[in-house]
Structure 1
């Protein structure tokens, strides 16, 4: 269920949904906002409500887009909560699975999301804890570790290293002239 192209904010996204979906998304959005650590910005990203590391804070992403940590969307047949931390961390994924089992709820997972019809389908307290568990600083570290394992990430690291070396050399040259 892609939002209309004129939708620019999470509030507009929710207003564009049918009433039942709007209520569901609003409830889960409130949960995320209650538990999201400092350093993440809520925005509309990739047609979903997302909580991201803004480019103003971390501009060196592989796709020039903010690093998404959590996202929330109303799809055609269900809603989706994208918990990237739980899918990058085996420990968090196991905690998520255990939380569903303990709560007696069925876990319906996509590649990196949990599908649900209603907030009642989710172990909300456990999801809140998972969201709160990774600070924005930790998320950046996890992103950088992940990127360092790819060819393009290694190339970007070399490029940035060369740039910082040339900046350091330029500073040393300036410092020598000042003496």
Structure 2
């Protein structure tokens, strides 16, 4: 369910009532915990947090006009999703997250590549998401991104 909302506040207003509070809380957590340099925008029809062109002028290789994406948060049809590119690209971060998750949530982790899915808003581990947001700086993300990109172009 991609949104055409031009900004985060308008996006949040379009959400179903049962999702608004969870999405607002996730947005707040990311804004408070992401390291300096990441900025909020709308991207791919969802809330996006990435590296702006002022820091990484090359932008995203798939579309250089877009900032380098890092995290996306979306209210999909049947779940809320957090798309974390750092988890997808860093085996160490993935290992940390998957080992920490059961300490916060009793249900099985529903995850694929960069997508963490929450079918029930009451099972979103906000404290864990807050800690996850702190785990990678802009510089670390750019380094990982460029290394993965270089490897894929060989």
TM-score (norm 2): 0.89
Q: Deviations over 1:79-136 (max 9, x none)?
A: 1011111121111111111122222332111331111134432332222222101111
CA distance in 2, matches of 1:119, 1:34: 20
* Partners of 2:101 and 2:109 within 8 A in 1: yes
Corresponding residue number in structure 2 for 1:12: 10
**2:111 match: secondary structure:** coil
Structure 1's unaligned 5+ residue stretches are: 155-179
1:43 is aligned to 2:47: no
Bigger helix share: 1
Corresponding residue number in structure 2 for 1:112: 114
Matches within 5 A, 1:53-132: 53-61=51-59, 62=61, 63-64=63-64, 65-103=66-104, 104-132=106-134
**2:146 match: secondary structure:** helix
- RMSD value, Cα: 1.5
Cα distance, 1:56 vs structure 2: 2.5
Structure 2's unaligned 5+ residue stretches are: none
**Larger Rg: 1 or 2?**
1
Q: Deviations over 1:39-63 (max 9, x none)?
A: 0110101111011101222121312
Q: Deviations over 1:4-44 (max 9, x none)?
A: x3x10000100111111111211111111121110011010
Aligned residues: 150
Shift >4 Å, 4+ stretches: none
Task: Say which structure, 1 or 2, has more relative contact order (CA 8 Å, 6+ apart).
Answer: 2
